[in-house]
Amino acid sequence: MRILVADDDPVSLRLMEHMLQNSSYKVITVDNGQEAARVLSKAGGPRLALIDWMMPGLDGPAVCRAVRGRHDDAYVYMLLLTSKQSSGDVVQGLEAGADDYLTKPCHPAELKARLHTGRRILQLEDKLVEAREKMRFKATHDSLTSLWDRGAILALLRSELSRSKREHSPVSLLLCDIDHFKKINDMHGHQVGDEVLEEVSKRLQDAVRSHDSVGRYGGEEFLIVMGGTRGDELKERAEQVRSAINCLPFPTVQGLIPISLSMGAITIEDWDKSLPVEPLLKRIDAALYQAKALGRNRVIYAEALVGL
């Protein structure tokens, strides 16, 4: 594990570096508070730190305050090294954001034990962050396909429409429905139906840009939000999506099954965020059902909308 050691005394710095390297730490050394704060505050910096209290420029407590003032999720466990022993000094250091302190000169065994405590706390913090992210993912993603769920994709649509209004850029939508999906379930069973839904989801994600959003709108329907895509571009993009599904049969436990999509498409410009999105969704839904009525495996383009 990486650890930063900050001390303006070169002899103390070298001794501490050697001691920590013998305990299998990857040591980064700095000789002033400004550099310590910079290294600890940058993305991907070390998450353990030994900081001398007395340094030129920024002292140890000032470094702690600077690091605690940043706004990201990576916690840094910081120990202050000090010759100060009064309770007032200790409180000052802890209130500045230090997690622990050691008086100088420190015993190697005590240093090792306190750093081990710091590592346990960081591991616990990582597990809590991981659990939080899993809960957040489950709250916004469809359990079968891992796409955005209906609520999340609609929230992303509203956000994209607001950005479109601010930046005077268009937003295009594709509402996709798997052709004859009920027949697939009836003939091959729901396990195969689930396989088809999962494979359609993968192909849709592969067919769009990284900054486009794909969500499971409901059942066998999928909504794709394409920011910055104009009407002339939408036709090319929609055909790429349709072809990505129809180009090759889907492998399932029941063998290869040909799959196609019917799609409704629309481009929106300067949408007023105070307007409801339901009329917009009805327009694209009507285009989708027209595509189905005309023989499926095709795209019908609704008239572009301008929200005033």
Residue type for 58, please? L
Residue 160 in contact with residue 227, Cβ under 8 Å?
Answer: yes
Where residue 58 falls (left for φ over 0; alpha for ψ -120 to 50; beta otherwise) is beta
Q: Which regions of the chain does DSSP assign to beta strands (E)?
A: 2-6, 26-30, 48-52, 77-82, 100-103, 171-178, 213-218, 221-227, 250-252, 255-257, 261-269, 299-301, 305-306
Locate 96 and state its tokens: 């500045």
Q: Cα–Cα distance between 157 and 281 in angstroms, integer?
A: 11
Residue 200 in contact with residue 245, Cβ under 8 Å?
Answer: yes
220 labelled catalytic: yes
Residue type for 179, please? D
Locate 128 and state its tokens: 């809590």
Out of 198, 220, 221, 303, the active site residue is 220
Task: Give the residue numbers annotated as catalytic, written as ranges.
Answer: 220
